A = this chain, B = another copy of it.
Amino acid sequence: MDATESETACFEAGIKFGTLYHQFAGTPVSPESAASLETAMADAIENQPHCVDVTVDVLEDAIADALAEQSADYLELTGRFMEVEMVVEYEGTRVETSMSMAGDYPMMRVDSVE
């Protein structure tokens, strides 16, 4: 069957999450550069179609904790070091999604479909 409007909206939301994660994973990051990376990530993804609002929290404290256990003074961004909320609107459907750690896995979720 063809996708419904709400299924397409969820597909679009998934695209944005995969984009955000794999465009920016690996970026050198430190507590000092976390803020500018948050802003750039949100602004970049908001360019994409149907993407209404993106909030990225790069977790300075988690980064600082990880740096205390390694030799270099920066690390590469992974899902462990960010939390994301994203709103996609497609036709009449609004999809709210988020990413945060579920145990050791950065889990992307659909929080609501309206």
* Number of identical monomers bound together in the oligomeric complex: 4
Chain B residue with the shortest CB-CB distance to A75? B47
The bracket for how many chain A residues form the interface is 35 or more
**By the criterion CB–CB under 8 Å, are A3 and B10 in contact?**
yes
Chain B residue with the shortest CB-CB distance to A12? B14
Within 8 A of B (CB), among A87-112: 95, 97, 103-105, 108, 110, 112
Where the two chains meet, the residues of A that have a C-beta atom closer than 8 Å to any C-beta of B are 1-4, 6-30, 32-33, 36-37, 39-41, 43-49, 70-74, 76, 78, 95, 97, 103-105, 108, 110, 112-114
9 contacts between A and B (CB under 8 A): A3-B110, A3-B113, A7-B7, A11-B95, A14-B16, A21-B26, A33-B44, A40-B41, A72-B105
